[in-house]
């Protein structure tokens, strides 16, 4: 009789395409994966994988088993999500995803206040620019800058995100973007595609001499005198070593959102987090939008 662990094994090997990768995912060693996979194929009387140059590839039998595994995993996660949404007291673990810029400015202090108000809730904060899948419980709550939040999630819009061009202080303000065309420019790396598009559409292609894939890294580079570049106002305005030299006529097409899955919005700990953090972030709306408080 097949067990859920058999399906997890096939799913892990298919996702990582190697025994070592699957072993890491399952928290076992590669020899255990090799032994269990061999026993499973013997039990079924069918090959599930063929090994090629690209790693372990699924056979037709393996593809069929993976399809069942995916459906089982989705059902298990959906069940866990619904049960988690039925808790009565604000307690337990809460996983939050956001990016490093928001964590430093200003979420860490807000999280500290939340922990004081709800000491029975453990925060697990996941940092990254890629949106995690809240439907699969990669996280319970997302705090994200996005132009279009997924329709499968619910939450609240906190603010528009104002952007401007910054330079190392002192620097004369520019009345027109053309006045900055001879400057060296700091640009975003590939991970910040939204900012890349905004920069290209707003000021065109200029003398980009330095690219980096974090907004905080861009701020550090501008403050070090490597060039001028775009920053969110809630970061650029708070650094005394930077000066806002130009406000583009267009806002960056992004807003700050606080999001969760519909199945979790009735959870006591999620509701407490959304209310507390949403209130604190809303108080900072002028800073996010780049206008005086």
176-219: pLDDT as tens digits: 888 888 888 998 877 666 677 777 777 766 678 898 888 899 99
Beta-bridge mates of residue 244: 166
Cβ(228)–Cβ(180) below 8 Å: yes
DSSP H stretches of helix in 161-204: 193-203
pLDDT tens per residue, range 149-172: 888 888 899 999 988 999 999 999
pTM of the predicted structure, to 2 decimals: 0.66
Taking 70 as the threshold, does the pLDDT of residue 130 lie above it? Answer: no
Q: How many residues does the chain have?
A: 293
Quick check: helix, strand or coil at residue 67?
helix
Task: Return the minimum-mean-pLDDT range out of 35-39, 50-54, 95-99, 234-238.
Answer: 50-54
pLDDT of 205 reads: 65
| Nearest CA among 149, 114, 91 for reference residue 267 | 91
């Amino acid at each position: 009789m097949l067990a859920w662990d058999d399906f997890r094994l096939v799913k892990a090997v298919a996702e990582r395409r190697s025994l070592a990768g699957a072993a890491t995912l399952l928290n076992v060693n590669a020899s255990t994966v090799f032994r269990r996979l061999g026993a499973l194929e013997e039990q079924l009387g069918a090959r599930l994988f063929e090994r090629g140059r690209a790693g372990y590839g699924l056979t037709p039998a393996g593809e069929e088993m993976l399809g069942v595994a995916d459906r089982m995993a989705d059902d298990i996660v959906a069940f866990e999500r619904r049960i988690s949404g039925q808790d009565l007291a604000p307690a337990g673990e809460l996983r939050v995803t956001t990016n490093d810029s928001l964590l430093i400015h200003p979420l860490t202090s807000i999280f500290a206040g939340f922990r004081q108000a709800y000491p029975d809730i453990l925060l697990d904060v996941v940092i990254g620019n890629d949106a995690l899948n809240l439907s699969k419980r990669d996280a319970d709550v997302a705090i994200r800058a996005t132009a279009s939040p997924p329709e499968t999630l619910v939450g609240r819009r906190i603010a528009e995100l104002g952007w401007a061009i910054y330079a190392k202080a002192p620097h004369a303000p520019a009345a027109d973007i053309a006045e900055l065309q001879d400057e060296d420019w700091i640009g975003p790396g590939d991970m910040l595609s939204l900012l890349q598009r905004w920069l290209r559409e707003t000021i065109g292609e200029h003398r980009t001499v330095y690219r980096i894939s974090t907004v905080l890294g861009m701020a550090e580079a501008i403050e070090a005198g490597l060039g001028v570049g775009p920053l969110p106002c809630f970061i650029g305005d708070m650094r005394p070593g930077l000066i806002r030299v130009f406000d583009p006529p267009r806002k960056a097409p992004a807003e700050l959102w606080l999001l969760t899955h519909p199945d979790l919005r009735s959870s006591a700990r999620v509701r407490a987090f959304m209310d507390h953090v949403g209130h604190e972030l809303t108080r900072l709306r002028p800073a996010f939008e780049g206008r005086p408080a």
